[in-house]
Amino acid sequence: MISSIRNSNDLATILNAQPLTQADAQETPRDWIEGIWVGGETYPLDADATTHTLAVLANGTAAAAWSPKGTYCNGGHGNAIASHAGHWCDADTDSIVFGDDVRGVTRDWRQVTVWDSNGYTEHQVHDTLDEAKAAFDRESAQMGRDWDDQEALMADDEDEEITVSYLI
């Protein structure tokens, strides 16, 4: 059960919930600009970016797009039948991971997150989607260069001969 909207997948899951009434079924995100209530908190939508087929949180951290019946969105909906039915899915996300989940960069709508397996996490929400995409590209490229440098250093260390001497 979702108790908060942490990302686009959460938003899409909430929008995919069965409507309680026929009137609810006819509503679109434009009807919910004031916000979507989840777990006691209201999540307002961006009035400028939200349309009948796109729901964008006002804080820029998540967005879900309507995927019409028969259109596959690659949203990981559990099975092919669900993925081809009309449904909401992540609007625009991207991610890259280096190593065996050692570090990575994710972009969820306008939020870019840089993380590593030691617990480091840095989030930045950008003013526009284009700025977020550019930041994701920069962070990914930098992390890729850093990763390549680290692997080169590790390879150099493996090539070095280690001499151990004991004093008796």
Query: Over the stretch 20-49, which tens digit does the pLDDT of each residue have?
Result: 999 999 999 999 999 999 999 999 999 999
Please check whether residue 166 lies inside any domain of the structure. no
Q: Which domain holds residue 121?
A: 93-159
Please check whether residue 32 lies inside any domain of the structure. yes
Please check whether residue 167 lies inside any domain of the structure. no
Give the separation between CA 126 and CA 143, rounded to whole angstroms.
Answer: 19
Same domain, 84 and 109: no
Please check whether residue 165 lies inside any domain of the structure. no
The per-residue pLDDT for 149 is: 65
Please check whether residue 68 lies inside any domain of the structure. yes
Mean per-residue pLDDT for 99-120?
94
Please say if the pLDDT value at position 165 is more than 70.
Answer: no
Same domain, 122 and 71: no
Query: Over the stretch 57-96, which tens digit does the pLDDT of each residue have?
Result: 999 999 999 998 877 776 655 556 666 678 899 999 999 9
Question: Against a cut of 0.85, is the pTM above it?
Answer: no
Among 74, 90, 106, where does a domain finish? 90
The per-residue pLDDT for 112 is: 98
Same domain, 66 and 110: no
Among 45, 72, 90, where does a domain finish? 90
Please check whether residue 37 lies inside any domain of the structure. yes
- Token pair listed for 56: 């964008």
Please say if the pLDDT value at position 162 is more than 60.
Answer: no
Give the separation between CA 16 and CA 10, rounded to whole angstroms.
Answer: 10
Same domain, 97 and 83: no
Please check whether residue 164 lies inside any domain of the structure. no
| End-to-end Cα distance, the chain | 65
The per-residue pLDDT for 72 is: 73
Residue 146: pLDDT band (50, 70, 90) is confident
Q: Which residue has the tokens 């700025």?
A: 131
The per-residue pLDDT for 50 is: 98
The per-residue pLDDT for 101 is: 83
Sheet holding 87-90, edge to edge: 54-56, 63-67, 87-90
Among 41, 66, 90, where does a domain finish? 90
- Give me the percent of the chain exceeding a pLDDT of 70: 81
- Token pair listed for 149: 């440098």
Same domain, 86 and 97: no
Number of domains in the chain: 2
Same domain, 19 and 73: yes
